[in-house]
Each structure stands twice: as C-alpha cells, then as structure tokens.
Amino acid sequence: MADLRERFDPIPSWERPPEVSVAAPPAGGGALDAGGHGLLGVPVAPDGALPPGLGLSREQLAAAGLTGAPGTAGVCLRPDGGPVVVFGTGEREALDAAALRDAAAAFAGAAAREGRLALLFPSGTGVAPAEAAQALVEGVLLARYRFEVLKREPQAVPVEALTLLVAEPERAEAERGLRRGLLFARAAMLARDLANSPPSLLTAAVLAESATGLAARTGLAIEVFDQAQLVAMGCGGLLGVNAGSADPARMIRLRYTPDGAAGSAPARVTLVGKGVMYDSGGISLKPADAVHATMKNDMSGAGAILAAMSVLRELGCPTAVTGYLMCTDNMPSGTATKLGDLLQIRGGTTVEVINTDAEGRLIMADALVLATEEPTDAIVDIATLTGAAMRALGAEIAGVFGNRQPLVEQVLAAARATDEPAWQLPLSRRYRAELDSEVADIKNMGGPNGGAIHAALFLEDFVDGRPWAHLDIAGPAQNDSASSWRPKGCTGFGARLLAEFLLGFTPPGSPRPGSGEGGEGARRER
C-alpha cells in the first residue's frame, strides 16, 4: 500500500490531454473522408438533406436504426467499405449547445474503441460556430472519460486526438470554441479525477501537494496552511471536524491575478470549497449502507474550485479570484468532536455541534470569515452539503441560495450555459431562529425539515453582509449510471460552471432598496 501511495497520481487526466484541432473538410463534393484524422462522425437531423458525400440514403440509415433522433449513433459501412459513425442531432428547431454536446457524446460512445476521431462540423444550425465547437469538444471528451488509473489492465480507450472538419468562413470561430472546449473539459476531468480518488490515497496533505504542483504549472499563487498555522489562525471549525482524524487538515489558498492587472482594479471573487476527503459522519455515524462508498466525493466542491482556477490563465479570465479549499476527513475516534461540544470559528463565533455529520458548514465557516477580511466583490461557496437539497431537487440539479439576486442570476446563467443544472431555493430567514442555541451563538443544525435552507442560513451568518451565493451540489456530484457525457461515478459538477461564471462576472453592487437582499432588510425578516 505504501508503494501505491508513492506512485499514485490523483490527476491523470491533466497529465495526458488529448490533441484537438480544426481542419478543412474534403473539397470538391466527393465522398466524405476524415482525411487521415481518425474515425469520422457525421451529424444527421431527422429530416432535410443529408450531408453531401455521406454515401448513404435515408432508407439505409433507418434500416440501421439511425433516424437522426437525439442520442442515436452507430457505425455504418458505406458502399466503398469505409466506416463512418452517423449520430443524431434532433430537430433543427430545438438544436442548441446542450443538444450538440449530447449528440457529440453519442458519437463518442459509438466510437468507443477508437482513439483518433474526426467530426464533421454541423453548419447552419443556428448555434454560433464558437459555441457549437466548444459543445462538440466537451461532449466527446467528457463522454469518454474513465478513471482507470488504479487498474492493472485499463479497458477504456482514451481519446488521443479529435479533429473538427470545418469549412470557411466558420473555421476561425470554431477554432476559438474548440480551444475553450478543451479547457472546460480538462477542468471537469480534473475535478472528476480528484473526486474519484480513494480517500486512503488522496488525503488533505496529498491534495495540497498536488495543488502546489498544479498551481506552478497554471500560473496560480498558492499557500498551504498546516495544523499549527490553523490553530494560530483560530480556524476552529476545520480543526473541530479534523479532531477525530489520523490525517492532519490542510487549508489551501489559491490566487489568480489576470494578466495585465497591475495598476488596474479587476473585479474580485472569492471561492470557498468543501474539501471533506471522506465523510463517515463522525460520531453521528452515517447508516451502514452504500452511501459510505460514495463519501470520497465529499471534497467535490474543493475539487471543482481547484479545477476551474487551473484553466483561468489560458482562458484569459478578467476576474481576480481567490479560492479557499478546506480539506480534512470526518472520522469517529476517541478524540473526535462530540455532540454537544462547542467550537469557535475564526472571528469568535461559537457553534454548538448537535450533529457531527453537519460538518461541511463548520469547515467552510472559517473560510467565509477569511473571505470577508480582504476586499472582494462577491463570495461564492460550493459544497456537497445536504441530502435535503437532493431530496428537493433530485440527483441532477444543484440548489442555489444567495443574498444578492443579481449574483444568483449570474450563477444560474452559468449553469444554463454549461448544462450543469441549478435551481434557486429560498433563503427564508424565518427559519433562522431554528439555528439558535442556548449555549452558543449558533448551532450547526435546525429542525427536521428544510435542511438545505438551514445550512445556507448557517453559512450566511459568516459572510458579514457581503454579496454571497451558495451552491449545494450534493445531488449532481455523483451519478449512479452513465448518462450522455456524464459518467457513472463522480461527475466533476461545478468546475465548468464556475469557470463560465468567472469569465463573465460583474460585481452585483449594493442591495436594491426594499428588496430584502442582505443588509438591514434581511435582518428585519429574521
């Protein structure tokens, strides 16, 4: 086991990126050909003219079950004997970036044994060439992701190269989108790698080492705070959750400064991520069922932040970003925090712990306070925080809370653009009294109902009125079965969403008069 720890790479996808490129399709109206770039994929709609040079009729495609419907794809042998993958895009009127991403995923699945792929770019779809190219690249690469670094004989064939065959005048825009698609896909795959890594191999300290190496290669500044430093900083939430662990906690602070920002004042965002490397529930032990095997994904929030920030430099992000990754496991032992114990968060707030399985909010509270100690235009946290959010929204949709509606709208817009679904839930301050404690400033859980709201209200107590949004990704962080470009297992949800959000971020400003957003209006509602 010691040897395995020494050679384990928690981010194998990052180390072996595929090649992506744009090339011209065959000229002269002859038979479609990949031009030596690999197995060719051809998009087909349910009606209308087929791509010139395909060499197959509608009747031949229908006989193979290839109607152009979304999700359909298969390998066909053309009269000349050459194989081609025909994949359906669905009705032209309904075609958007999400549909193209799904269609590309179907193509990638049908070509699962091929490492070199080419894809005929669908023209005249109504989707901007850059947006379409990005979606196609993401669909192919994310659908083919597998985490097999720990297998002696991996079964999956990785994508080595992907070429989009694009005619002028769309080629320049498509090339720009292709590059962005590769970076977004790499971020999501990095987040998946981290969340899929076994907790015995990816401890908080190992994550800190990996983040340090990654930061050096991606233009990020990084600081890692160890146990002694966390004690000196008064990070009682993180230390309290770590109290039962044999592995020490780590807080990782990442900073991204845009190129050319010297002398200017770019918009600033602070990200806070839950990094519970394994969550047993602590003394409030989780039930002895299959949920335990998924609790390595409880650091998905921290993983999403590290992954998103790792591509900001190459994306040319104009926003300055600070990221806090709060990393520990949550274990039961003779030294673990007990029910009824009191923890003191950085800044002095005391918390009565009435359930040690509500630990994510405790470690994030320290970071939220730290976020308020520096100038920032917005704070966004992301965490696999509550089963209650999953009960409300299912396993595919994240919950979003916030104290500034313009900020929440930006998060929701990023969710729509990346097809990482999110839904706003109410930050109903009428429930805040359920967090009142008789012995401390606040307790870490409310009543039996509204658990996702209670968790958000707890976190809001530590943002000091700053513009803030909270993403609860407990549901979509994990898939029980593969679906389109979303694999079975850890999904990397949030990495692409955060990157999209940061690229287009604008400061939300002060609360609107009479809106009840933050400030005095929020306090009166309590």
Query: Is residue 488 among the annotated active site residues?
Result: no
CA neighbor of 346 nearest in space, from 229, 178, 173, 183 = 229
CA neighbor of 213 nearest in space, from 252, 160, 268 = 252
- Using the structure block, give the residue that is written with the tokens 């409310």: 446
E strand segments, 196-259: 221-225, 250-256
Q: Which residues of 58-72 are buried (b: 16+ CB within 10 A; e: fewer)?
A: eeebeeeebebebeb
Q: What are phi and psi of 236, to 5 degrees?
A: -70, -25
319 near 267, Cβ under 8 Å?
Answer: yes
Q: Which amino acid is at 523?
A: R
- In DSSP notation, 243-307 reads TT-SSPPEEEEEEE--TT-TTS---EEEEEEEEEEEE--TTSPPPSSTHHHHGGGGGHHHHHHHH
DSSP 465: T
Write out the two tokens for 133. Answer: 């190219």
Helical spans, DSSP H, in 52-145: 58-63, 97-110, 129-143
Which is the catalytic residue, given 296, 361, 443, 466? Answer: 361
Q: Which residues of 7-21 are buried (b: 16+ CB within 10 A; e: fewer)?
A: ebebbbbbeeebebe
Reduced to 3 states (helix: H, G, I; strand: E, B; else coil), residue 479 is strand
Q: How many helices (H) and strands (E) does the chain have?
A: 18, 19
Q: How many CB atoms lie within 10 A of CB 227?
A: 18
Reduced to 3 states (helix: H, G, I; strand: E, B; else coil), residue 362 is helix
What whole-number distance in Å separates Cα of residue 439 and Cα of residue 347?
18
Query: Is residue 92 among the annotated active site residues?
Result: no
Which is the catalytic residue, given 286, 313, 338, 512? Answer: 286
Output the CA–CA distances (angstroms, integers) from residue 301 to 57, 83, 294, 308, 474, in the order listed: 48, 42, 14, 11, 9
Q: SS3 helix, strand, coil % of the chain, rounded to 5?
A: 35, 20, 45
Which residues have a catalytic role annotated?
A: 286, 361
